[in-house]
């Protein structure tokens, strides 16, 4: 009997896709760096310019190492463009709860009662509790995976602007092509950041909608048989 392998975490599932984005960016950097060589010597010029792989390799190493210093909080700040209370969970009830038509706010108020969150910290804490209760629901699992992938991609895109941009300063000519490459890096970050923020907000709203729609557990009541027994005792 063989022992089943443990299921992969969401970050492990996204690892291949993230490394694919790094490879695509590395190929794009090499393509831009060979613009001048190709324009003058054709394909032979591209092959002759393989020495430009040295700064590219250094840029790749620097990106990989720097990514280890990007904490989840730092990535959240990059994605949601907030320094304090960056995560959308900090605004789960005060903002998303009243703007998403799928969310039954009254049901959530009855569920929480006096524990209704009044501060950003409390909102995120209560939302995270709801998330842990529903994280295995397929639609929430999907939104969570997509958010983690796009958030990490946005973090890499921010690093690409620094590390690959520095490598391009030594390898990409003329200046107009270098400026175009930097613009592409900036556009990549803006798009990745926006998509990650969209998935993050959607995750928060979906958790609240699912939790608000869940039936509230009522305390057990005495059955009909018990009621008859009590009634007979009272008449005895």
**Of the candidates 144, 147, 145, 164, the residue with the CA atom closest to the CA atom of residue 64:** 164
* Cα–Cα distance for residue pair 35/16, rounded to 1 Å: 29
* Cα–Cα distance for residue pair 153/198, rounded to 1 Å: 14
pLDDT for residue 180? 94
* Cα–Cα distance for residue pair 45/28, rounded to 1 Å: 17
pLDDT for residue 191? 96
* Cα–Cα distance for residue pair 134/99, rounded to 1 Å: 21
Q: What is the DSSP letter of 69?
A: T
pLDDT in tens, 177-223: 899 999 999 999 999 999 999 999 999 999 999 988 865 554 455 54
Contacts of 93 (CB under 8 A, 6+ apart): 108, 116, 117, 123, 126, 127, 208
Crossing angle (nearest 10°) for helices 175-213 and 138-171: 170
* Cα–Cα distance for residue pair 100/116, rounded to 1 Å: 18
Average pLDDT over residues 16-42: 75
Q: Do residues 207 and 134 touch, judged by C-beta distance below 8 A?
A: yes
pLDDT for residue 53? 58
pLDDT for residue 227? 42
Average pLDDT over residues 126-153: 93
Q: By percentage, how much of the chain surpasses pLDDT 90? A: 44
pLDDT in tens, 62-85: 676 667 778 889 999 999 999 999
Crossing angle (nearest 10°) for helices 10-33 and 138-171: 30
Average pLDDT over residues 98-119: 90
Q: By percentage, how much of the chain surpasses pLDDT 70? A: 73
Is the model more confident about 117 or about 62? 117
């Amino acid at each position: 009997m063989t022992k089943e392998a443990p299921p992969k975490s969401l970050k492990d599932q996204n690892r291949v896709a993230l490394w694919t984005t790094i490879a695509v960016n590395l190929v794009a950097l090499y393509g831009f760096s060979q613009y001048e060589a190709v324009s003058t010597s054709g394909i032979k010029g591209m092959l002759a310019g393989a020495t430009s792989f040295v700064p590219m390799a250094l840029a790749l190493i620097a990106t990989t190492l720097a990514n280890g210093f990007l904490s989840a909080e730092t990535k959240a700040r990059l994605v949601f463009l907030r320094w304090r209370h960056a995560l959308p969970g900090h605004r789960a009830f005060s903002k998303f709860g009243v703007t998403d038509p799928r969310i039954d706010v009254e049901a959530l108020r009855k569920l929480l009662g006096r524990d209704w969150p009044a501060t950003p910290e409390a909102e995120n804490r209560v939302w995270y509790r709801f998330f842990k209760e529903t994280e295995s629901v397929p639609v929430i699992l999907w939104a969570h995976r997509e958010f983690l992938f796009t958030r990490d991609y946005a973090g890499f895109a921010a690093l690409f602007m620094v590390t690959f941009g520095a490598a391009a300063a030594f390898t990409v000519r003329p200046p107009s092509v270098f400026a175009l490459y930097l613009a592409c890096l900036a556009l990549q970050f803006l798009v990745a950041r926006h998509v990650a923020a969209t998935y993050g907000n959607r995750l928060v709203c979906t958790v609240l909608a699912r939790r608000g729609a869940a039936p509230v557990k009522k305390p057990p009541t005495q059955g009909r048989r018990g009621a008859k027994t009590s009634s007979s005792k009272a008449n005895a």
